[in-house]
Structure 1
């Protein structure tokens, strides 16, 4: 089942020659987190494989998502809490569902998220401690990171809810895409420069998200039912901050770094069309999803969580293939194949609206299965090529 060869001989040869290059200038990361991670990693025995830490961190973010899905599947729980607590402003819409998120759960979510962040920070250090650093570890790490991108904001939306003093689902949909773009641009940048410039926003966003969960545990979701200034609510501030750290900050910096690599001739020196080639997969998926959402009478209002799962899964597949291409120094694909079933589902929904949700759930299931299959096969193929185990450190014979 997981023996399909997604990687060509050229991909594997490219991985043989791969050298990791990254630049991290975030003050929070350099002066706070790395010293902390240097201490934490020593708590783990040397027989623990780095990929175990990576995968455990990923599962904790998934656990956050599933826990909130259980208590607040439709994102109405914040409004019901606000009705039962002291709110500084009246509700703007009637109560829709009796969904209550227990206060202690927010503390658990904060612990799980910060633990995931820590595990993501120490996996590379564990690899160096155990002398098991290699392309598989980086691919595994960044590949799972590309999937985690949507889980965290999908959880944060439960703090504000979808009704009073919040932002509507369609705007949260675009917030999500902004975050996905933010991740993708960093790897597009590496595809052209050969260097991964780690964005400052990652560390700050993980701290901010953890603190938001902790604060919500202390004060409840009713705290967010207020205006920050003028007619702007705290949810609006959250929305503005996401765009400010993405499209308005990370994107210009990435474009400048690519431009500088051409000017100084330090990058891959691809033609303009080849340099922009990875963007087409991202843009076409975004265009089809957005067209579907805007033409639909039910999306994104109906089953917003599955919509997040769909776009997050397809995006992760697109991003993983870009990461494989840039690490193996191979040409990136022009269009991701999942675009075609996505386009078919969108077209079927437009022609037969009564079957829209069936098409929606079917293409989501297909995307999840296809992406898991892709990831498992690529990892297995690389393990076979390098004669290593993903989750086990082989004992040295020397």
Structure 2
């Protein structure tokens, strides 16, 4: 059984990508570079192969964190920091990911492989990358295993969810003058590079310095009396909160205009924002409770695996939203993987709910085991989703996923021809 109903398969042939990018940096600096860079790739390389190559670089970066900085995973109190050069590889890797992610659409036009599968594949890799970069950036900012890292996860996933929700209701991907895929990624690249530069002196603790002190603004009496002198990493979190608020307003404004232009309800789409805060609240309730401070996830070896499981669960959630977009189906309200979050949250809060110890997570060891089982289940479920969706789309459209091939009228595989009519930013 696949994820796409039989009646919705026909909508795959009607799907056309639409996108708007208003970033000055993207249009006048990066896009000329991307246009040149894509010419370095042979036309026999499939666009999805380029996308997957970019994600592989990020996975390698994440592997270096696990290898060089095991204390981030195993000890209470945060990390000691990997070697200085590792931060530069994270910055280079993320920049390459952004570049590969930007040129896969251009390669799709060159090879005649543009379509709904590329949209699904591209967004799926982006969703996975989102959580991995939250973990890497939080380490580089010296946030460690803290609620700041959790807040970063929520804000970053919320931005991704907003973009997906907006694209579904407007029919196009909208990137404003400041967006996560462009300026946001370059900002994180800068963080990695700065942490690498100051690694010989302070490493990630560089970001614990006070913002007004570093900028010398503490000597300006008007500012010093009115602006709190918070740490650099906390300042970045505050900036992220304002960015999220701005994106919420911008996304709804675009949806409002689109719905109003077509005579549809401008308030109904707001209901489809509710699944994200509901799922995020479940994760927060599961992660910590004052009565379980000795075995909660925040201070255990399970913290990073939990964030990874949360990220893959989110990837499944938004993957189904993107699938609904390309196949013309209603947005999903419910995700079956939330059952694990519900069980975890209820069990962790049994002391508050029923005045008794948790049934499953009654010790740090059991909490860790349960989280790792959760991660395994989420990985298998998401892998099943990816395999089935790819199978449904490739079989129906007669295309390959990682090679530049299509089936002709006789069912024979042939190299795809460029389609100049297909447009994608």
The answer to whether TM tops 0.5 is yes
Change (3 A) 1:184 1:397: closer
C-alpha contact (below 8 Å) 1:277/1:332 kept by paired residues: no
Query: Normalising by structure 1, what TM-score?
Result: 0.87
Shift of 1:270: 5.3
Q: Aligned pair 1:113/2:94, yes or no?
A: yes
RMSD: 2.3
Contact kept in structure 2, 1:47 and 1:393, CA below 8 Å: yes
Query: SS of the counterpart of 1:48?
Result: coil
Change (3 A) 1:318 1:16: same
1:223 is displaced (CA, Å) by 2.8
- Matching of residue 127 in structure 1 with residue 125 in structure 2: no
Mapped to 2, the partners of 1:18 and 1:98 lie a distance apart of 46
Match of 2:60 in 1: 63
Corresponding residue for 1:374? 385
Contact preservation (8 Å) 2:131, 2:307? yes
In structure 1, how many angstroms separate the alpha carbons of the residues matched to 2:99 and 2:116?
Answer: 21
Figure out how many residues of one structure are paired with residues of the other and give that number.
371
Structure 1 distance, partners of 2:151, 2:179, is: 18
* Post-superposition offset of 1:98: 8.1
Q: Evaluate the alpha carbon distance shift between residue 141 and residue 358 of structure 1 in structure 2; reply closer, same or farther with a 3 A threshold.
A: same
- Aligned residue number for residue 214 of structure 1: 193
Give 1:216-365 correspondences, 5 Å limit. Answer: 216-220=195-199, 221=203, 222-229=205-212, 230-246=228-244, 248-265=245-262, 269=264, 272-273=267-268, 275-295=269-289, 296-297=292-293, 298-302=296-300, 303-349=302-348, 350=350, 351-352=358-359, 353-354=362-363, 355-365=366-376
Aligned to 1:192: 169
CA separation of 1:318/1:97 partners in 2, compared to 1, >3 Å: closer, same or farther?
Answer: closer
Does the 8 Å CA contact 2:286/2:341 hold for their aligned counterparts? no
Task: Note the C-alpha offset of 1:242.
Answer: 1.5
Secondary structure in 2 aligned to 1:23?
strand
Contact map agreement 2:309 2:378 (CA 8 A) in 1:
yes
TM-score of the superposition, structure 2-length normalised? 0.82
Range that drifts further, 19-28 or 6-15: 6-15
Larger-gyration structure (1/2): 2
How many angstroms apart in 2 are the aligned matches of 1:95 and 1:347? Answer: 24
Call closer, same or farther: CA 1:397–1:27 in 2, change over 3 Å.
closer
Distance 1:392 1:28 in 2: 32
Give CA deviations for 1:132-154 in whole Å, capped at 9, x if unaligned.
11111111101211121111121
Consecutive unaligned residues of structure 1, counting only runs of 5 or more, are 78-93
2:77 and 2:286 map into 1 onto residues whose CA distance is 26
**Is contact 2:49-2:402 (8 Å) kept?**
yes
After superposition, where does 1:24-103 map in structure 2 within 5 Å? Answer: 24-75=21-72, 99-103=80-84
Q: 1:100 to 1:240 in 2, by over 3 A?
A: closer
Deviations 1:23-50 (A, max 9, x none): 1111111111111100000001111100
